[in-house]
């Protein structure tokens, strides 16, 4: 049984509520912060966080979102909201459509970074998206319209990704998945990482649909969005010469480092710095 509040008690409680609301209203932005935000993009207590773009990171083939871990830590320490949606790795058009749908849910400006095949996806997903203010390519494909993964890889010598380096596994629905052979994973993708770490990455790699390697790219987002590129000069997957050609064609600001194809793992500080540079330049 609820005991009715005495008149004096009720008046005192209302007075306290009034004081609390008055105090909240006296804090700039406090009422707005209390009423806005979402689970994936909460309203931050730092006023500066409202002007920072969201960083969206797209992983590549034979990897997952955890490959960005070191970069994520540094960007979050810099006050950025970081999103790492999964790349389905099913094909250029479907993967790009998925990422474009994800980007449509992100409020405010975006800096979009892609690693390896993820660059192929970001190039297509960001076309026409006015919220994407910068593109960052990390050891990545930067395709023009009509390019394919295979055509860009073969345009310059030096890639160790060949049919002989892949295991092909049929999957339901008539799709054939392509894996890097574990014994070759380190020499192709992770030649500057410890053998034990490369072995873990090989064991947890996610396959890409083999059909994605021959699917053509559409109109490139880099034609209208400023771009940055990190090029690993010891990359055995995408030849550095190919990366330099693609970056020049996209008029990207280039940073070169002595790194493997997985510079986002071996040199996360440099990669994070370039992403922050892009964010500052477009804010």
Q: What is the CATH number of domain 48-282?
A: 3.40.50.1820
Q: Would you state the pLDDT for residue 209?
A: 97
Judge whether residue 212 has pLDDT over 80.
Answer: yes
Pick the range with the lowest mean pLDDT from 30-39, 138-147, 157-166, 194-203: 30-39
Q: Would you state the pLDDT for residue 255?
A: 98
Q: Would you state the pLDDT for residue 43?
A: 38
pLDDT class of 13 with cuts at 50, 70, 90? very low
Average pLDDT score over residue span 251-269: 98
Mean confidence (pLDDT) of the chain: 86
Provide the token pair at 160. 């160790």
Nearest to 71 by CA among 227, 280, 274: 274
CA 203 to centroid of chain Cα atoms = 22
3-class secondary structure for 114-154? Answer: EECHHHHHHHHHCCCCCCEEEEEEECCCCCCCCCCHHHHHH
Provide the token pair at 100. 């474009």
Judge whether residue 250 has pLDDT over 90.
Answer: yes
41-73 residue pLDDT tens: 443 334 444 579 999 999 999 999 999 999 999
Judge whether residue 268 has pLDDT over 80.
Answer: yes
Q: Measure the N-to-C terminal CA separation of the chain; round to a whole number of Å.
A: 58
Average pLDDT score over residue span 178-193: 98
Judge whether residue 143 has pLDDT over 80.
Answer: yes
- The ranges assigned to domains in the chain are 48-282
Rounded Cα distance between 246 and 145, Å, is: 12
Helix, coil or strand: residue 181: coil
84-107 residue pLDDT tens: 999 999 999 999 999 999 999 999
Q: Would you state the pLDDT for residue 172?
A: 83
């Amino acid at each position: 049984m609820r005991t009715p509040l005495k008149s004096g008690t009720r008046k005192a409680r209302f007075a306290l509520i009034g004081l609390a609301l008055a105090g909240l209203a006296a804090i700039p932005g406090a009422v707005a912060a209390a009423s806005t935000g979402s689970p994936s993009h909460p309203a931050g207590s730092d006023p500066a966080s409202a002007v920072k773009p969201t960083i969206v990171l797209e992983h590549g083939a034979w990897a997952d979102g955890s490959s960005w871990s070191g970069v994520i830590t540094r960007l979050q320490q810099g006050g950025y909201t970081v999103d790492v949606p999964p790349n389905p790795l099913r094909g250029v058009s479907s993967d790009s459509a998925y990422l474009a749908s994800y980007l449509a849910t992100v409020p405010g400006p975006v800096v979009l970074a892609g690693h390896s095949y993820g660059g192929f996806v970001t190039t297509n997903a960001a076309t026409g998206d006015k919220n994407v203010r910068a593109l960052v390519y990390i050891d990545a494909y930067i395709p023009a319209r009509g390019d394919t993964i295979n055509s860009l890889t073969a345009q310059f010598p030096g890639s160790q990704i060949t049919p002989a380096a892949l295991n092909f596994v049929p999957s339901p629905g008539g799709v054939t998945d392509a894996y890097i052979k574990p014994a070759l994973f380190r020499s192709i993708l992770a030649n500057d990482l410890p053998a034990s770490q490369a072995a873990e990455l090989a064991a947890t790699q996610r396959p890409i649909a083999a059909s994605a390697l021959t699917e053509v790219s559409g109109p490139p987002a880099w034609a209208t969005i400023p771009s940055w590129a990190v090029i690993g000069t010891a990359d055995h997957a995408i030849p550095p010469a190919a990366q330099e050609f693609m970056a020049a064609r996209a008029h990207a600001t280039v940073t070169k480092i002595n790194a493997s194809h997985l510079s986002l793992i071996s040199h996360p500080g440099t990669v994070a710095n370039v992403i922050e540079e892009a964010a500052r330049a477009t804010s």
